């Protein structure tokens, strides 16, 4: 028998684990339900979601007022090859697993997501080149694909270099 997300304590687990967004970065809870909690600052949002029966918990980030959005795994994978695997699969089926999973995701975001949480444009540029067209050669011709991919890869590498240099 499957347990609904609310029975797993999703909302309180998220509010507890991701409370640092409010305390340290000035976010506020903009929306909250049994399967979704959205934190917003003046320019950035972080949305934590869970499937109806709690099968998977995920973290999505983006800039408010744009169509930009990406999951935490995509950002970590773009920032450093080894970081993507730190997120895990997010699969939960008990209240204890929910608390553990949300705490882990929050720690990963806290440890590696500062550029996103502060709205650093380079962090968003790092992830923005990844789109469906990169994987769908039928959408554009191979020559155009290679040229677009090369330009976007160069831009992503430049963004990563700026992130590594830090502020200044």
Do 141 and 167 touch, CB atoms closer than 8 A? no
pTM more than 0.85: no
Mean pLDDT check: name the lowest of 27-36, 84-93, 121-130. Answer: 84-93
Contacts of 94 (CB under 8 A, 6+ apart): 3, 8
Q: How many CA atoms lie within 13 A of 8 on its CB side?
A: 30
Q: What is the mean pLDDT of residues 83-100?
A: 76
Model pLDDT, residue 134: 46
CA 112/CA 79 separation, integer angstroms: 9
Query: 30-65 pLDDT, tens per residue?
Result: 999 988 999 999 999 999 999 865 578 889 999 998
Beta bridge partners of 72: none
């Amino acid at each position: 028998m499957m347990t609904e997300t609310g029975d797993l304590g999703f909302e309180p687990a998220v509010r507890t684990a991701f409370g640092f967004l409010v305390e340290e970065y000035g976010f506020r809870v903009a929306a909250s339900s049994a399967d979704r909690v959205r934190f917003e600052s003046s320019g950035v949002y972080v949305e934590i979601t869970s499937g109806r029966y709690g099968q998977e918990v995920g973290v999505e980030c983006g800039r408010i007022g744009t169509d930009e959005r990406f999951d935490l795994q995509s950002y970590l994978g773009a920032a450093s090859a080894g970081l993507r695997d730190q997120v895990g699969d997010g699969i939960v089926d008990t209240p204890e697993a929910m608390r553990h999973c949300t705490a882990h995701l929050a720690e990963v975001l806290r440890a590696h997501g500062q550029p996103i949480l502060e709205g650093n444009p380079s962090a968003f540029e790092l992830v923005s080149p990844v789109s469906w067209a990169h994987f769908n050669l039928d959408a554009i011709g191979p020559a155009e694909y290679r040229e677009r991919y090369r330009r976007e890869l160069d831009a992503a590498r430049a963004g990563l270099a700026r992130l590594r240099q830090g502020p200044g």
